[in-house]
Structures are given as structure tokens and as C-alpha cells.
Homo-oligomer: A and B are copies of this chain.
Amino acid sequence: MSSRLSLNQGTVRTATLAEALDACVEVGVESIGVWRDRVEPIGLDEAARRLSDSGLRLSSLCRAVFVTAPEGPERRAAIDENHRAIDETATLYAAAAAGSTAMLVMVAGPLAPGERDLAAARGRVRDAIGELESHARDAGVRLALEPLHPMFAADRSVVSTLGTALDLVEPFPKETVGVIVDTFHLWWDAQLAADIARAGREGRVASYQVSDWITPVPSDLMLARGMMGDGHIDFATITRSVAATGFDGDVEVEIFNQEIWDSPYVDVVRLMRERYDALIEPYLRSDES
């Protein structure tokens, strides 16, 4: 492959799958991370056909639904939904160009209403992975647990650091369950280099996602990410750490940002490629000086 850059569809949130694929082809981006809610309007078969026609690799399917609900109908529905998401990942992956891994992104989920026990909620994440793992293995899909920034600990992900994610996935086969290193979520952590090295030793680096931390922090925290180079993150250092693990997969750019969403798709993808080529790609090679 000539470039490992992948457009996560979240970066062009308002584009249809067809529009996102076209923008990638036009700019020479060879891989895409697909969102399920962009597949739903056209159906899985049509999405698979379009992906196949595009010639792109599939770097991930985003994403499994939250799995922190306590036992009961809500939890059962979430597990069922994630079984379907595993099958969708396998179907889309089979239609995509070769060279990537079939991967389903998992975000843990929030505390239950009124709950204050983070450890218990994390335990429910582990239990959910335990319920899904054998199906994922049979389907040839890797589950990739993504720790989110601690500012989302109450309402989106009780898993906030790479170290915590690694602890949670420890009981499961590394071939089926990995973790995601996302710069926006993890850049601040003084343990990050050590935890990335640990993830490498334990064979858990499933994906590397890049976007920047910008200030002042936008008022909607969900839309607080920036294009690489517009913020404070040291991509050279983090990328070197990831490369040193032997990670050789696609690198996803996932940016939730209203200004970027309001820009023409092709312009966004072109800028993304420029920044990736300048700030990320040089440090992915183990022989870079």
C-alpha cells in the first residue's frame, strides 16, 4: 500500500457513504473507517457494494453501542446490537480491498443513572466483551476498545486511559480483542509512552487514530477536536511510540468539529492528507531519523 491514511467518516459527518468514498478516491486516500449510521440509510448490501466499487480498504466499523447498562433488557438489547455490528463488520470487510484487519470499534459507555461506582461499570464492560468475543473470533472480527478522554468518564466512557483499557482486555485473546490509541483522548497522559509500549508487548494495538487537542476548548466537548497541527499534540513522539510497537495498520483521522463539518468534503480530505503526510507519516517508519 502506498499510504496508510484512512478517513474516519466522523471527519465528514454530513457526507453520505458515497460522498465520503468519492472524496477519498479523488484525494488518493486508500482506506476508510465507516460509521454504522451512515450505512443504515442505504442498507448493508448497498454499502458493501459501494465500498467494493471504491477499491478502498475498511479500517474500522464505528461503532458498537455502549455496554455499561446493568443486567436487564437494555443490556440484552445492547449485546444483541453488538452481535449484529460484528456481523456487519465482517460483511463490509469482505467487500473492501485487502490489506486491513476487520475491526469493530467499542466505546465503553457511561455510568448507569445514579451510579457512582466506576469499577463496577468497568467490570460490566469486561463482561460484555466476554459475551461477544467468541462470536467476533468466529466472524474474523477484532474488537477494539477505545479509551475516551477523562472528561467523558461519566457520560460516555468509564474507560479513560490506555492502561485501564489494557487491564480490561487482558483476559481475552489478543487476536480478537485490542485497544485503540487515539491522540485526542490520550495525549495528556504521562504514562502514555509506557502504556503504548505495554500494548505493543501484549499485542493489543488494534488501531491508531489521530486528531488534535485545540484551545480554547470548544463549548461542545463532543466537537472539540482539531485537525492535526492546529493544536497542542506532539504527533511525532506519539507516532514514534506507536510505530515502535510494530503496528502496521491504517491510521484513522477522526475529527468531530463543526467548522470542519461545514467545509466541502474534498477540501477536508485534502487538508487531512497534507497534515497526515507532514505530521504523522514520517514518524510511522521505523527508520526515520
Contact = CB atoms under 8 A, between A and B. Distances in A.
A188 B153 contact: yes
B234 A118 contact: yes
Interface residues of A, number: 34
Interface in A132-170: 149-151, 153-155, 160-161, 163-164, 167
B189 A154 contact: no
Interface stretch (A63-71, A210-218, A256-264): A210-218
Q: Chain A interface mostly helix, strand, loop or mixed?
A: loop
Nearest to A213: B154
Given A116-B232, A231-B154, A232-B116, A191 B213 contact: no
A151 B220 CA distance: 13
A224 to B, nearest CB: 9
Contacts of A233: 116
15 contacts: A116-B233, A118-B190, A150-B151, A150-B189, A151-B151, A153-B187, A153-B188, A154-B215, A154-B231, A155-B215, A160-B188, A160-B190, A161-B191, A219-B219, A219-B220
